[in-house]
Amino acid sequence: MELQEGNILLRPYILSDAKALALNANNAKIANNMRDLFPHPYSINDAKEFINKNINGVIKGIFGIIYKGNLVGSIGIHSQPDVYIKTAELGYYVGEKYWNKGIASKSIAMIVKYGFESLHLTRIFAGVFEHNEASMKVLKKTDLF
C-alpha cells in the first residue's frame, strides 16, 4: 500500500531506509513523546530490527513518511483487538529537521482517510502526552479529531 498527495508519500519501509530512520528517530525530543518500546538512543541496529519486523509482518500498519524523496518520519494505524476490531490507534512522528512544514498534519489526514475508506474502520484515536503541545496542535490542525 502506498498513499501519495503532493510532496508526501506514505509507503512500507524498505531496508535502505535504516540510516535515515535512525537519524530522524535518534532524538530525545521525539523519544520523550513515544511509548517505552521506542528506544533511545535509536541506533542503526534498532532501525534495521524495526524495518525487518515490518517487512516480515511482525509489526503491521506502520509506514515511512517520504517528503520530497526523503524518509522524514513514521506513521501508523494500529488495529485494536476483540470487540474493538473496527477501531485503530494513530501514531506518528516527524524528524525535527522537518518540523513546521505541515508534513505531520497532511500525513495524518492521508492515513485517516485510508483507514476509514479502505480498512472500513469506524473509529481512529490518538493518544498524546499532556506535555506534547505540538502534537496536540497537529491533531487539531487536521480537523479530524
Q: In angstroms, rounded to a whole number, what is the distance separating the alpha carbons of residues 61 and 41?
A: 24
pLDDT digits (tens, 9 = 90+) for 75-98: 999 999 999 999 999 999 999 999
Q: In CATH, what number is assigned to the domain containing residue 68?
A: 3.40.630.30
Q: What is the mean pLDDT of residues 40-56?
A: 96
Instruction: Report pTM.
Output: 0.93
Q: How many independent structural domains does the chain possess? A: 1
Give the domain extent around 40.
3-142
Percent of the chain with pLDDT over 70: 99
The answer for residues whose C-beta is within 8 angstroms of residue 89's C-beta and 6 or more apart is 77, 78, 80, 124, 125, 126, 127
